[in-house]
């Protein structure tokens, strides 16, 4: 993989964030998603690479762009696999709340898990707790392990959990253990990634969210030296068959870092669409707009924060207006 891709993909997530941010608070999640997707699609084809979408907006017949199997890039350059979530948190943008991201992960060909579009139980932690947690252990055991690894008291810990009825029991377990909770409306990629940044104040992500988002989070955590573990949660017969077709007969199979993203290299970029603990969202300031992006590479371990100041006068097409 080429290191120059690291900088190139920032342009892609920035474009997606800029276009979808125009939809903030308008109550239209599909439009926000479409804006991000088509902006991302347009910029991808200016990048010298031979990319294949392995995690995208869906199968070819249901997604007009960034569908699984779609080829991206100019065709010259490294052969890579690409996972995208042009807008991770469509509802977040529709409502104008926290932590919507435009996200891309890239790895060498055949190194990303082709996660099916179904639920996945996840446990994510930052570097200090790597190797000390186990998705098959009890909630309290994992919380204790993280507290010990981070030299914190249990009551100092913050667990991020998607605010869903399915997490009622999990929430009770965390409360009973004495840790604190941040319930989030959507956006568990941000939740997982934030566990690896001390200043975000979150220590562990627990609960069930999308499997594709698990792969994106895994690439982020690979770059950051953190860890995610996951277990597919097929909801019905069709999804169980889907798992079997993938060769996962046993849905108790735990996906570890190497399963999500093999090899030693991968890159990850996320631009804030709405404000979050780590990244500020897009701000429109008349003739310019600002973005904040985190971009990182597993091989070198370099993590960069990039502030973009975009001239809407010189590049009026950069933001697709609603
Ligand atoms: C999570 C979250 C996403 O979906 O994966 C969640 O990260 C899980 O699905 O932002 P449900 O909404 O069905 O609970 C999102 O909220 C949307 O992709
Ligand atoms: Mg999406
Ligand atoms: Mg998503």
Task: Identify the three-state secondary structure at position 322.
Answer: coil
Query: Is residue 249 within a helix (H) or strand (E), and if so which, with residue range?
Result: none
- Beta carbons of 293 and 10 less than 8 angstroms apart: yes
Q: Ligand 1 center to residue 290 CA distance, Å?
A: 26
pLDDT of residue 268 exceeding 90, the answer is: yes
The residue whose CA has the least distance to atom 2 of ligand 1 is: 187
**Cα–Cα distance measured from residue 279 to residue 293, given in angstroms and rounded to the nearest whole number:** 7
- For residue 251, the model assigns a pLDDT of 77
Task: Identify the three-state secondary structure at position 126.
Answer: coil
Percent of the chain with pLDDT over 90: 90
Closest to 157 in 3D by CA, of 107, 112, 122, 201: 201
- For residue 316, the model assigns a pLDDT of 79
Q: Taken in order 165, 169, 170, 172, is the CA torsion positive or negative?
A: positive
The response to whether residue 85 sits with its C-beta less than 6 Å from ligand 1 reads no
The response to whether residue 157 sits with its C-beta less than 6 Å from ligand 1 reads no
Other C-beta atoms closer than 10 Å to the C-beta of 290 total: 16
Residue 250: pLDDT band (50, 70, 90) is: confident
Q: Ligand 2 center to residue 310 CA distance, Å?
A: 24
- Phi/psi zone of residue 129: left (φ > 0), alpha (ψ -120 to 50 degrees), beta? alpha
Tell me what the mean pLDDT of segment 276-287 comes to. Answer: 97
Tell me what the mean pLDDT of segment 288-315 comes to. Answer: 96
Nearest ligand to the C-alpha atom of residue 63:
2
DSSP E strands, the chain:
50-55, 71-72, 79-88, 101-108, 119-125, 158-162, 180-184, 204-210, 227-233, 266-272, 283-285, 288-297, 303-311
Q: C-alpha angle 174/175/181, rounded to 5°? A: 70
Q: Order of strands across the sheet with 180-184?
A: 180-184, 158-162, 204-210, 119-125, 227-233
**Cα–Cα distance measured from residue 207 to residue 166, given in angstroms and rounded to the nearest whole number:** 9
- For residue 246, the model assigns a pLDDT of 82
Tell me what the mean pLDDT of segment 247-262 comes to. Answer: 91
The response to whether residue 213 sits with its C-beta less than 6 Å from ligand 1 reads yes
Quote the ipTM score: 0.94
Nearest ligand to the C-alpha atom of residue 99:
1
Tell me what the mean pLDDT of segment 93-99 comes to. Answer: 97
The response to whether residue 57 sits with its C-beta less than 6 Å from ligand 1 reads no
This prediction has a pTM of: 0.97
Q: Ligand 1 center to residue 3 CA distance, Å?
A: 31
Q: Ligand 2 center to residue 101 CA distance, Å?
A: 10
Q: Ligand 3 center to residue 90 CA distance, Å?
A: 7
Alpha carbon of 67 to those of 72, 82, 297: distances in Å? Answer: 10, 11, 24
The residue whose CA has the least distance to atom 16 of ligand 1 is: 186
Reported as a single tens digit per residue, the pLDDT across 199-219 is: 999 999 999 999 999 999 999
CB-count exposure of residue 285 (10 Å: 0-12, 13-18, 19+): exposed
Tally the C-alpha atoms within 13 A of residue 293's C-alpha that lie toward its C-beta: 28
The response to whether residue 70 sits with its C-beta less than 6 Å from ligand 1 reads no
pLDDT of residue 322 exceeding 80, the answer is: no
């Amino acid at each position: 993989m080429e290191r120059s891709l690291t900088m190139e993909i920032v342009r892609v997530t920035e474009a997606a964030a800029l276009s979808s941010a125009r939809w903030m608070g308008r109550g239209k999640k599909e439009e926000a998603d479409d804006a991000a997707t088509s902006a991302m699609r347009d910029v991808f084809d200016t990048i010298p690479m031979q990319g294949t979408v392995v995690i995208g907006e869906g199968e070819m017949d249901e997604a007009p762009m960034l569908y699984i199997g779609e080829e991206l890039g100019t065709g010259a350059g490294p052969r890579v696999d690409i996972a995208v979530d042009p807008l991770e948190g469509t509802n977040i943008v529709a409502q104008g709340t926290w932590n919507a991201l435009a996200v891309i992960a890239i790895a060498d060909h055949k190194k990303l898990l082709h996660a099916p579009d179904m639920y996945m139980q996840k446990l994510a932690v930052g570097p200090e707790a790597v190797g000390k947690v186990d998705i098959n252990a009890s909630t309290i055991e994992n919380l204790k392990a993280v507290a010990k690894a981070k030299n914190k008291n249990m009551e100092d810990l913050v667990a991020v959990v998607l605010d869903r009825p399915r997490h009622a029991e999990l929430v009770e377990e965390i409360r009973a253990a004495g840790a604190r909770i941040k319930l989030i409306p959507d956006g568990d990629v941000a939740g997982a990634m934030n566990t690896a940044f001390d200043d975000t104040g979150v220590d562990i992500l627990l609960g069930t969210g999308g499997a594709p988002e698990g792969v994106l989070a895994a690439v982020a955590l690979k770059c950051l030296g953190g860890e995610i573990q996951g277990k597919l949660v097929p909801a019905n017969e069709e999804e169980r068959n889907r798992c079997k077709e993938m060769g996962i007969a046993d849905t108790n199979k735990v996906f570890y870092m190497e399963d999500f993203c093999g090899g030693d290299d991968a890159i990850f970029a996320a631009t804030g669409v709405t404000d979050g603990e780590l990244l500020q969202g897009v701000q429109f300031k008349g003739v310019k707009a600002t973005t904040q992006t985190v971009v990182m590479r597993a091989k070198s371990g370099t993590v960069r924060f990039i502030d973009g100041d975009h001239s809407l006068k010189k590049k009026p097409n950069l933001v697709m207006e609603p």
